Amino acid sequence: MTNKGKVYLVTGAARGIGGAIAKKLLEDGAKVVLHYNQSVGGRDALLEKYGPGRVHPVKADLEKPSQIDALWDQAASWQGSLDGLVNNAAYMPSTLPDAPLAQWRKDWASVMQVNMTAVADLCRYAILHFKKTGGGSIVNISSRAAFRGDLPDSMHYAASKGAMVAFTRSIAKGYAKENILAYTVAPGWVLTGRVRPKLEAPGNEFLLDEVPMGEAAPPEEVANIVAFLLSGQARHATGATFDINGASYFH
């Protein structure tokens, strides 16, 4: 089995982990609907390299349900069908309990909307689509925080990613007989353009002390696992979670 010729929708695919996933799938011969919102990141470089026949950028704000609907419609109609969905886009503001109540509620609502409700909406569309086409694959990008929690300013993020794990397992259990497969990938620290400055800032050396390997994972490692799961070479792993955290489980 292979990704060559397949069509995938990847959210948050203009930079970081999503950008690496899109790049890897394109290298494997797939066609990618590249979702982005505020940051174009490497969108134009991928479009220039692979052309509009292989890359289809779609802008959508995942906080707005109507734009989620439009994103799916454009993705599914581009080549007439989709073989897989990768939910990678996420939102992670810093919100402590002593923040003003209005800000607290706003941030929690936004995090749950982008990180879980939008994921649920897109997975719903994918399930209905795959039931008609004979099957497909879903990979949801969760986080190490889903299992060990996060810092007090990121409790909403950890909660959303924990919900994602249970949701993905429910899809796997409910639709395996219809050849609809669902996997979770849960990274820890990943050396993206957003994370690198934080890890390299003076005084933040302690952040990697909890990682036995002593370093953040390159985003390409996350992309490699996602591409492998989408390829159909591990069908019976449906429902499983794949950790990429340098063995930093409990610290």
Catalytically annotated residues = 157
Select from 17, 13, 15, 121 the least CA-distant residue to 72: 121
Kind of pairing between the strands at 136-141 and 31-36: unpaired
Distance separating alpha carbons of residues 86 and 123, to the nearest angstrom: 9
Whole-Å CA distances, 95 to 13, 91, 130: 25, 12, 38
Whole-Å CA distances, 35 to 18, 32, 74, 99, 204: 9, 9, 10, 32, 32
Distance separating alpha carbons of residues 35 and 19, to the nearest angstrom: 10
DSSP states of 167-212 as a string? HHHHHHHHHGGGTEEEEEEEESSB--TTTHHHHHSTT-GGGGTT-T
